[in-house]
Amino acid sequence: DKNHPEVKSLVGFARGKAIVVKDVDELKKVEVPLRKVGLVSQTTQLMENFSKVISEVLKREPLEFRVFNTICNDTKKRQESAAKLAKDSDVMIIVGGKISANTKRLFEICSGICGLSHHIETAAELKQEWFKNKELVGIASGASTPDWIINEIRKGIYIK
């Protein structure tokens, strides 16, 4: 996410020598030769996506290639758990900040599995029609979402 503060900081540190891509499709559009490459993952990135980017860089046969996997293990576990929950849920509620990379990634994962996924920040955003004729509602939250917000959301869900 080229607009994420973590990524902006790394780009600034690279003094204009950084190229930010979110996936293989964006990497394929990069036309400059990749001779000396340092590849750094955003901490919330999916390992599957990061691995595909690594493979694509290797196809270009760089002279030097260093990979820095900074994907957070706790984030990876949270993503895996949310995906598992989404498979079993009629509706998914993903709770956390709208600009949180961690929460946005959870929403991407869940909405790809459970089409009725909603990213909200507070219980005030809940819409009861989301739960009409539904049996199982899954709730996943970003790493920094406080428990009290999650509890308010749990209390605000009524299955009829």
Catalytic residue numbers?
6
- Report which secondary-structure segment, H or E, holds 69: none
CA-based nearest residue to 95, from 75, 74, 117, 73: 117
Q: Crossing angle, helix 73-88 and helix 101-113, to 10 degrees? A: 30
